[in-house]
Structure 1
Amino acid sequence: MSKIIRIGTRDSELALWQATTVQQRLAEIGYDSTLIPIKSAGDQVLDKPLYELGITGIFTKTLDVAMLKGQVDIAVHSMKDVPTQLPQGIVQGAVLERAVTHDILVHKGLDFLENDSPSTIATGSLRRKAQWLNKYPNDRVVDLRGNVNTRLLKLIENDWQGAIFAKAGLERIKLLPKDAVLLDWIIPAPAQGAMLVVALENDDFTRTAVEKLNHKESELATGVERDFLRTLEGGCTAPIGALARCENEKLHFEGVVFSLDGKQKVEIKKTVPLKSADGLGTMCANEVLKNGGQQLMESIRNANSALH
């Protein structure tokens, strides 16, 4: 028996682009679907940095509730926003083929990089803030919240030199400036550039449909990155970066955790055969914890608990 698959999505332009992409892919393999936009708490509370809200999955929780209430059948997310522990009853359905993983700097001219006076850079991400301050310790990093369109507008309206974005997000909705600077020295968020479809565990029809959209290499790489994040117990409240790439039957991984001020970091790089990639993220995280990461994470947790 066929049914129309109800796709839950945030109502930002980027989220709708992602959900529409899934809808089109489902149509190509013979499944009917409809979009159901839902506003998330992460889109509504814009006057506090994410890490001060103290909620993991702030962009996904509203859609999780809608799924568990039977209002939608699947949800489409930017995978980097999804907690590593999914709610009971909800499972990973598919990871679509990953887009570019890099961060970029959108700016108003690059003269500020040449002079010695402190610059102001905007981002809502602890990971981006820590890595920027690690490279440019005299700069000031200010908080930037909202959907992509809102953040671009805030950059225009404020006296900042630049703001950091994920390249994939701006490309997807055709807002990538031609002069944006590729920040290839910043290690991205785990699963950055990937889209995740989640489904209800007991909905066999929908899970079977969604599984046909899965891209194996993207699933493998993002799985390693999310295992690294999960083992470090980071969530969105710690400056953790991770990137896994599948190339020539090998998996190349690099991961890092920074102090909140960017002054300290513990990093790791490994290359293994693809067939040996299972458990790599967890192993690398444990090595990081042994080599000073444990103390870093404890200091970050103490700082976060002071905020709440």
Structure 2
Amino acid sequence: MPHNPLHNQHMPLTSLKSGTCFEPVADVEGLIVQIVNVYFVGRADNPHDWVLIDAGMPDSQKQIVRAAETRYGKQARPRAIILTHGHFDHVGSAVELAEHWDVPVYAHREEMPFLTGERHYPYPEPQVEGGLVARLSRFFPSQPIELRPRIETLPEDGSVPAMPGWRWIHTPGHTPGHVSFFREADRAMIVGDAFVTVRQDELYEVLTQHQELNGPPRYFTADWDAARDSVRRLAALDPSVAMTGHGLPMDGEALGTGLKTLADDFDLLARPRGTRH
């Protein structure tokens, strides 16, 4: 098995809801892995036609495999793993899962250097405006992982492998190659960290998963102008439900009103003061 530099880099942050599954729409199930969500996209009654969105925290592969087998049956195997971006909490177990299932991994071309061992992400900003999690971010891994030869770029036409009806949308800012996913038929949206529904830099909110619509995690976002433009691009699609990388799914009036407010007042509500970016 290829070496995963994130192996044994266990983060002691764990939500009280870790291990909980939720089903915001009939063919998507989310799993909370410590402080981050992964998503199984595909109906539970079709065990041979599903994909995994994101790969959770380091050393969480057994938990993810167990949840997949609970949903799809023993020997469940996705058609692909698809990444919103390459931060440690979204790719922590990607190497092990891709090897275990023998499947390809897809990401945006601008995210490739961070997934092929070539570039580090910018170091977190522990001094950024925010709470204890922001201050703890100095200990978060920023090194790239190596997913070759399994890593492939998402199709340039916006289609998503093994996810018919969905399209990927380039939503940079949090990282250069961050992507979100949108399905026109029901306006369902999977957004990674383009925006989140928990105050990710505050420890109490992370532990309890208190729902509150926010911009991307402040300590790890590199380009705030691009992040603002990405939120506005997603808001313009008027999603019916947003499934985020951190926090519980949001829908209805809370999502519609909250996302419009975030898009309109992003610089005031989301952009931190005193950031080096």
TM-score category (smaller protein): 0.3 to 0.5
User: Which structure is higher in helix share?
Assistant: 1
Higher strand share: 1
Could you tell me the TM-score, scaled by structure 2's length?
Answer: 0.33
| Greater length-normalized contact order (CA 8 Å, ≥ 6 residues apart) | 1
Which structure has the larger Rg? 1
Q: TM-score, normalised by structure 1?
A: 0.30
